[in-house]
């Protein structure tokens, strides 16, 4: 059977973000970067970053599929800064390490992570995508345990749980190589998760644990324990301030809106989230509390609170579930006491 060459238009927004991140990372480091796209397919992602970010000095593109590789050669030919290598991406290529490494597989990135980490310079940036969401988000729990060594959350928390499992897994692979890393931007989008990991210059302990652990006061996750998963921040707020929607973005309005949401979210960057309709369900309220009044009241009480990109009505907060529930009850009761009697 002939295998199709991979080009996925649904990832256009994701590639827009790759351009924005490369630009901001180059600004942060104060120099142009050398990059490796490990799994290039037609090269659309790496070549867009090269052309649109102005951040790269050199780009290595590897691809193992011969048919994809022919397209890759053709697409890269007009760009002197791009080099194509027809090879297995699990081999460390000549020229390693790189300032930026991009790992964007079909399915799981796990088999490629040791090479990706070895190929990323200290102080460099490693971008990792996973599209095996049935595994990471708990539909295939046994596969998640085998592939990532982690118990996944299932249901509405599944995608964020999957993102946090992926990050913990990548950090575990880094630790085994005497390296450490932290996310500067990590998100759930459509049917994949993606994390941009800053590879540290010095080893430091990772914020990885099983949830809900002792003292967990956040949203009820179920019995668990789930994970191990990353429980630290998904965003580096300073880095987010430097991100701009690229001038040539395929989805300019969506990218700008997503960046705004990330910035808001970074103000209350806690694991997992609440949703007004689920709060109403848990408390037996006759209607959900409004999202805006909930956020406002939590902030009045001194807690950080912000909408999340993960789901349209989701919000994160530093308040405990008990406080969130009290505020929700108060707001719904107040709404009823101020409605006219009919």
Ligand X SMILES: C[S@@+](CC[C@H](N)C(=O)[O-])C[C@H]1O[C@@H](n2cnc3c(N)ncnc32)[C@H](O)[C@@H]1O
What is the C-alpha separation between 52 and 248, in angstroms, rounded?
7
Subset of 106-165 contacting ligand X (CB under 6 A): 106
Pure H helices in the chain: 12-29, 44-53, 66-76, 113-118, 133-136, 141-148, 158-176, 237-242, 252-265, 276-283, 291-300, 321-337
What is the C-alpha separation between 300 and 325, in angstroms, rounded?
15
Q: Which of 17, 19, 22, 39 binds ligand X (CB under 6 A)?
A: 39
Q: CB of residue 3 vs ligand X: minimum separation in angstroms?
A: 8
Subset of 48-87 contacting ligand X (CB under 6 A): 62-65, 68
Closest to ligand X by CB, 64 or 256: 64
Q: In the Cβ-directed half-sphere of 199, how many Cα atoms lie within 13 Å?
A: 27
Among the residue ranges 33-41, 176-184, 223-231, 330-338, the one whose residues contact ligand X (CB under 6 A): 33-41
Q: CB of residue 269 vs ligand X: minimum separation in angstroms?
A: 27
Q: How many of the chain's residues bind ligand X (CB under 6 A)?
A: 19
Q: CB of residue 99 vs ligand X: minimum separation in angstroms?
A: 18
261 sits near ligand X (criterion: CB under 6 A): no
What is the C-alpha separation between 44 and 260, in angstroms, rounded?
25
Fill in the DSSP letter of residue 274: B
Among the residue ranges 35-43, 258-266, 282-290, 296-304, the one whose residues contact ligand X (CB under 6 A): 35-43
Q: What is the DSSP string of 11-51?
A: GHHHHHHHHHHHHHHHHHHTS-EEEEESS-TTSHHHHHHHH
Among the residue ranges 38-46, 49-57, 259-267, 286-294, the one whose residues contact ligand X (CB under 6 A): 38-46
Closest to ligand X by CB, 98 or 230: 98
- Maximal C-alpha separation, the chain: 78
Closest to ligand X by CB, 108 or 180: 108
What is the C-alpha separation between 151 and 107, in angstroms, rounded?
18
Subset of 86-105 contacting ligand X (CB under 6 A): 88-90, 104-105
Closest to ligand X by CB, 6 or 187: 6
Q: Report the interface residues with ligand X, using CB under 6 A.
A: 6, 11, 15, 39-41, 44-45, 62-65, 68, 88-90, 104-106
């Amino acid at each position: 059977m002939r295998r199709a060459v991979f080009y996925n238009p649904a990832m256009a927004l994701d590639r827009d973000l790759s351009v924005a991140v490369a630009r901001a990372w180059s600004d942060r480091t104060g120099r142009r970067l050398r990059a490796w796209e490990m799994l290039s397919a037609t090269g659309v992602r790496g070549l867009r970053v090269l052309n649109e970010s102005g951040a790269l000095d050199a780009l290595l593109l590897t691809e193992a599929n011969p048919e994809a590789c022919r397209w890759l050669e053709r697409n890269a030919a007009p760009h002197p800064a791009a080099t194509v290598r027809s090879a297995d991406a699990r081999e460390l290529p000549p020229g390693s390490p790189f300032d930026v490494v991009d790992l964007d597989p079909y399915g799981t990135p796990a088999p490629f992570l040791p090479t990706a980490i070895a190929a990323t310079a200290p102080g460099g940036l490693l971008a990792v995508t996973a599209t095996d969401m049935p595994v990471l988000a708990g539909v295939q729990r046994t596969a998640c345990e085998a592939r990532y060594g982690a118990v996944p959350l299932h249901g509405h928390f599944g995608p964020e749980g999957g993102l946090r499992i992926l990050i913990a897994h990548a950090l575990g692979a880094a630790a085994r190589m005497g390296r450490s890393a932290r996310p500067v931007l990590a998100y759930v989008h459509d049917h994949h998760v993606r994390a941009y990991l800053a590879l540290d210059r010095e080893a430091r302990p990772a914020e990885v644990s099983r949830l809900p652990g002792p003292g967990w006061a956040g949203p009820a996750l179920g019995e668990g324990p789930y994970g191990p998963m990353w429980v630290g921040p998904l965003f580096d707020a300073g880095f987010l301030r430097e991100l701009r929607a690229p001038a040539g973005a395929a989805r300019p309005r969506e990218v700008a809106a997503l960046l705004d949401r990330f910035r808001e979210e970074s103000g209350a960057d806690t694991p997992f989230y609440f949703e007004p309709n689920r709060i109403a369900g848990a408390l037996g309220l006759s209607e959900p509390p409004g999202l805006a009044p909930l956020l406002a009241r939590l902030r009045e009480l001194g807690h950080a609170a912000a909408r999340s990109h993960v789901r349209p009505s989701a919000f994160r907060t530093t308040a405990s579930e008990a406080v969130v529930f009290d505020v929700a009850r108060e707001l719904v009761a107040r709404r009823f006491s101020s409605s006219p009697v009919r």
